[in-house]
């Protein structure tokens, strides 16, 4: 490679690594695997070494990736939170040991000891204590400046708010989510049709870097402390001694730390960690080899990015070949049909893999996966098995192509894929697989508003087989409800009354409760007002529906397809037999002062909730929108109004205060 080619490749690699680092560190949404990123960095580092005239301080080989997220207060680290030099072979670890031994000899140091630890796959953070009390916590950021995440870190149960000694100390640790908790998080997100976390590291990072600490508190974050950054009034001779002290102070210290006297012991430690990694409750992405003597560390020093007294050995991702013997389809709680590859059992990264998700239709087509294919399997983030590729050279013509069915495999209802979405979903309202989620929605505040019938009670009713469908809610007796709780008579009476009262709800609530795709409470009100009763709505044509303001062809088609199903007709009939109201009750308002007017709400209101304002506007003939456009008539701006207010000012749209709105509705 000549100089011109090297320069071009270096520039290309810098752009790529900057882009992928931003996705990984700043957005917590990696686009390539850690191994692929590491290989790009290795290539870049080698080119910069061979062509030093093209080296730059701006290269990620010379600085730590990551920036401070907007919305967080900046924290300057008194002691930089550096990165580690990655190595990918035992030979490179031997080279490191050789360099350390040479430096020891030059400085008349007779022996060198090491500590080998697990490299925890998480987000690095510094915890600061004053007089033994936790006062501030920050992310690594770019190593010099991080984000103040004190309130978020206070939600991590394994971080002590006070330690035994009344000292000033700053420690460094790795915030992570354990394997089991990560799997449970992703399972729940899949059920709720939320985007899955790519790996445990990014799940932890995204959870810690939330602007709302309440969100962080809901995430199962943990931490292992692995270093003393700064301490006043106390000195240590060795790193191992530091860790022992931290543990006595109440810190959750990295549990895997192996004391080594020579290279042979280092190799054994790395091998042991590699063999045990599958049994660890937390994910790792390597083993860290550190010089133990703290005075010798000072002599060795650091570069701008990494300490010279440590390296991180990265384990290569283990890949295995196996065969796809079958493709099955699972229906989730929200009706999404997910393909699952059944595999010939194969051991990968310490555990036996016999199945893996194929995610969705697009993934199956992109990978071109067929029954009978030989595929390459690896574990993403040491946790989730995934198909990397199909070994097409091993095809013999007997492989069978399989598509996601357009009929639900559980209930037989039509399964559809909406344009712009990747999921194929069951549309049956009585589908057993969807029952829990449908029940939760049906009784929710925006829908039938059955107070006291929360998720836990619904699950108990299902577990005890007291309900098997939505309409069974209205056949429950007080005795059956009371059986769910000890001394549950009062609870049963209140819930029974709430169920009975819900029968008298206006029609729009029932329409909302049915969970028709694209039909929320706002559209439900429009439909109830237009058709007056459920029978009329069930018989509405696509042409008629699509002519209504705020409906459009997509919603119209969804409504028609929903009411055309036998399952829907069966449920409506049963609900009507149980006395649930099917008629529009609200009288049409004669006050149409906001007729044809569109409002946009922004900021915090003092005397109203946004829902209250929306209801008032709709009652007076107007409508609300979530975005500002030229068609907007008024922007109601409360405290801390944001970009919507700015856009309204740019477009010359009339902006009104809460007081002006109150005058308008008098």
For residue 112 the two structure tokens come to 């060198």
User: Could you identify the residue written with the tokens 């998480």?
Assistant: 122
Helix 521-531 and helix 610-619: axis angle, to 10°? 20
What band does 69 get if pLDDT is binned at 50, 70 and 90? low
The pLDDT of residue 469 is 95
Number of H helices, E strands in the chain: 24, 22
The answer to whether 291 touches 309, Cβ cutoff 8 Å, is yes
Interval 175-230: pLDDT, tens? 999 988 988 888 887 776 677 787 788 888 888 888 788 888 888 999 999 999 99
- pLDDT (0 to 100) of residue 67: 59
The highest-confidence range among 15-19, 45-49, 428-432, 584-588, by mean pLDDT, is 428-432
Q: Catalytic one among 119, 179, 305, 525?
A: 119
pLDDT over 70 percentage in the chain: 96
Indicate whether 70 pLDDT > 70: no
Return the number of other C-beta atoms located less than 10 Å from residue 11's C-beta: 12
Which helix (H) or strand (E) covers residue 188, if one does? helix 179-191
Residue 509 above 70 pLDDT? Answer: yes
Query: pTM here?
Result: 0.58
Task: Identify whether the C-beta of residue 391 lies closer than 8 Å to the C-beta of residue 375.
Answer: yes
Average pLDDT over every residue of 484-513: 93
| Residue that has been written with the tokens 């709105």 in this structure | 661
What is the tens place of the pLDDT at every residue in 115-146?
999 999 899 999 999 999 999 999 998 889 99
Q: What integer pLDDT is reported at residue 589 of this predicted model?
A: 59
Whole-angstrom distance between the N-terminal and C-terminal Cα of the chain? 79
For residue 189, the model assigns a pLDDT of 79
Length of the chain: 666
CA dist., res. 55 & res. 62, Å (int): 9
pLDDT category of residue 68 using cuts at 50, 70 and 90: low
Rounded distance between C-alpha atoms, residue 307 and residue 311, angstroms: 8
d(CA 216, CA 149): 10
Please check the confidence at residue 655 and state whether its pLDDT lies above 80.
yes
Q: What per-residue confidence (pLDDT) applies to 60? A: 80
Band of the pLDDT at 381, cuts 50, 70, 90? Answer: low
* Gyration radius (Cα) of the chain, Å: 31
Give the pairing of strands 654-656 and 634-637: parallel
Looking at residue 518, its pLDDT comes to: 87
- What is the C-alpha to C-alpha distance for residues 655 and 666, in angstroms, rounded to an integer? 18
Note the pLDDT tens digit of each residue in 321-359: 999 999 999 998 778 899 999 999 998 866 688 999 898
614, pLDDT greater than 70? yes
In this prediction, residues 614-629 reach a mean pLDDT of 87
Residue 43: its H or E element: helix 34-50
Separation between Cα atoms, residue 373 and residue 355, nearest integer Å: 14
User: CA 61 to CA 471: how far, in whole Å?
Assistant: 63
pLDDT in tens, 547-575: 887 788 989 999 999 999 999 999 999 99
pLDDT for 50 beyond 70: yes
| Vertex 102: Cα angle to 100 and 104 (nearest 5) | 70
| pLDDT given at position 477 | 95
Q: Which two tokens stand for residue 245?
A: 């002290």
Task: Say whether pLDDT at 310 is over 60.
Answer: yes
Q: Dihedrals φ, ψ of 384, to 5°?
A: -95, 120
Short-list 607, 646, 605, 609, CA closest to 628? 646
pLDDT grade for 639, boundaries at 50, 70 and 90: confident
- Residue 65 has a pLDDT of 61
Given a contact cutoff of 8 angstroms between Cβ atoms, the answer to whether 415 and 329 are in contact is no
Residue environment code for 511-538, b if the CB has 16+ CB neighbours within 10 A, otherwise e: bbbbbbbebebebbbbbbbbbeebeebb
Is residue 462 a contact partner of residue 435, using CB atoms and an 8 Å limit? Answer: yes
User: Distance between CA atoms of 354 and 341, rounded to whole angstroms?
Assistant: 9
What domains are defined for the chain? 3-54 (1.10.287.610), 74-313 (3.30.470.30), 319-394 (2.40.50.140), 427-587 (1.10.150.20), 598-664 (3.40.50.10190)
Which of these, 622, 620, 519, lies nearest to 510 by C-alpha position?
519
pLDDT surpasses 60 at 527 = yes
pLDDT of residue 461: 95
**Cα–Cα distances in Å, from 202 out to 175, 255, 528?**
11, 22, 45
Q: What is the pLDDT of residues 230-273, one digit of tens each?
A: 999 999 999 999 999 999 999 999 999 999 999 999 999 999 99
Measure the CA–CA gap between 174 and 255, rounded to whole angstroms. Answer: 12
**Measured between alpha carbons, how far is 409 from 331 in angstroms, rounded to an integer?**
8
Task: Evaluate if residue 384 carries a pLDDT over 80.
Answer: no
CA pair distance 558, 544, nearest whole angstrom: 13
| Average pLDDT value for the chain | 90
User: Do the strands 310-313 and 319-331 form a parallel or antiparallel pair, or are they unpaired?
Assistant: unpaired
List pLDDT tens digits, range 440-469.
Answer: 999 998 899 999 999 899 999 999 999 999
Return phi, psi of residue 364, to 5°: -60, -40
Crossing angle for the helix pair 455-463 and 435-442, nearest 10 degrees? 140
**For range 638-666, the mean pLDDT:** 89
Question: What does the pLDDT average to over 473-488?
Answer: 92
Choose the weakest-confidence range: 200-204, 394-398, 498-502.
200-204
Q: Is 119 a catalytic residue?
A: yes
Q: How far does Cα 409 stand from its chain's mean position?
A: 28
pLDDT in tens, 340-350: 999 999 988 66
């Amino acid at each position: 490679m000549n100089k011109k080619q090297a320069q071009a490749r270096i520039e290309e690699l810098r752009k790529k690594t900057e882009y992928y680092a931003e996705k990984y560190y700043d957005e917590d949404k990696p686009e390539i695997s850690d191994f692929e990123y590491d290989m790009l960095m290795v290539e870049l580092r080698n080119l910069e070494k061979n062509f030093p005239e093209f080296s730059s301080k701006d290269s990620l080989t010379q600085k730590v990736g990551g920036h401070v997220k907007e919305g967080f207060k900046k924290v300057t680290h008194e002691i930089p939170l550096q990165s580690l030099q990655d190595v990918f072979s035992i030979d490179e670890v031997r080279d490191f040991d050789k360099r350390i031994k040479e430096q020891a000899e030059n400085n008349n140091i007779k022996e060198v000891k090491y500590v080998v630890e697990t490299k925890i796959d998480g987000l690095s953070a510094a915890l600061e204590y004053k007089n033994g009390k936790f006062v501030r916590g920050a992310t690594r950021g770019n190593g010099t400046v991080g984000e103040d995440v004190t309130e978020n870190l206070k939600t991590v149960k394994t971080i002590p708010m006070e330690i035994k000694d009344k000292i000033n100390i700053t420690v460094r640790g790795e915030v992570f989510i354990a394997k089991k908790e990560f799997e449970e998080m992703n399972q729940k997100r899949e059920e709720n049709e939320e985007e899955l976390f790519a790996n445990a590291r990014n799940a932890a990072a995204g959870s810690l870097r939330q602007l709302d600490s309440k969100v962080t508190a809901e995430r199962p974050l943990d931490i292992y402390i692995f270093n003393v950054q700064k301490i006043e009034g106390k000195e240590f001779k060795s790193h191992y001694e530091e860790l022992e002290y931290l543990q006595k102070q109440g810190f959750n210290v990295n549990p895997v730390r192996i004391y080594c006297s020579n290279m042979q012991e280092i190799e054994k430690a790395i091998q042991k960690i590699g063999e045990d990694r599958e049994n660890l409750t937390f994910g790792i992405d390597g083993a860290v080899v550190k010089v133990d003597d703290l005075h010798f560390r000072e002599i060795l020093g650091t570069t701008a990015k990494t300490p010279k007294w440590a390296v991180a050995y990265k384990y290569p991702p283990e890949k295995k070949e196996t065969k796809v013997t079958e493709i099955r389809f699972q229906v989730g709680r929200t009706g999404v049909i997910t393909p699952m590859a059944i595999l010939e059992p194969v051991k990968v990264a310490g555990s036996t893999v016999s199945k893996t998700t194929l995610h969705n239709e697009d993934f199956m087509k992109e990978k071109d996966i067929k029954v009978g294919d030989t595929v390459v399997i690896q574990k993403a983030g040491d946790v989730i098995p995934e198909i990397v590729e199909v070994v097409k050279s091993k095809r013999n013509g007997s492989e069978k192509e399989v598509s996601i069915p357009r009929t639900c495999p559980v209930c037989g209802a039509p399964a559809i894929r909406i344009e712009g979405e990747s999921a194929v979903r069951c549309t049956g309202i009585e589908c057993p697989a969807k029952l829990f989620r449908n029940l939760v929605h049906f009784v929710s505040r925006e829908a039938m508003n059955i107070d006291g019938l929360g998720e836990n009670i619904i699950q108990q009713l299902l577990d005890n087989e007291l309900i098997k469908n939505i309409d069974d809610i209205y056949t429950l007796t007080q005795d059956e409800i009371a059986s769910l709780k000890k001394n549950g008579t009062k609870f049963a009476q209140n819930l029974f009354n709430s169920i009975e009262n819900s029968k008298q709800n206006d029609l729009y609530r029932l329409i909302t409760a049915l969970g028709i795709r694209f039909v929320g409470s706002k559209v439900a009100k429009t439909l109830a007002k237009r058709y007056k009763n459920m029978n009329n709505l069930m018989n509405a044509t696509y042409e008629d529906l699509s002519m209504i303001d705020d409906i459009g062809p997509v919603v119209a088609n969804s409504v028609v397809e929903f009411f055309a199903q036998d399952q829907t007709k069966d449920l409506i009939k049963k609900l009507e037999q149980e006395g649930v109201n099917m008629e529009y009750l609200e009288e049409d308002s004669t006050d149409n002062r906001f007729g044809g007017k569109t409002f946009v709400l922004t900021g915090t209101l003092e005397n109203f909730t946004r829902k209250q304002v929306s209801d008032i506007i709709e009652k007076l003939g107007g409508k609300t929108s979530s975005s500002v456009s030229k068609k907007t008539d008024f922007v109601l701006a409360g405290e801390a109004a944001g970009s919507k207010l700015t856009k309204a000012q740019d477009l010359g749209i009339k902006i009104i205060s809460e007081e002006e709105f109150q005058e308008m509705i008098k």
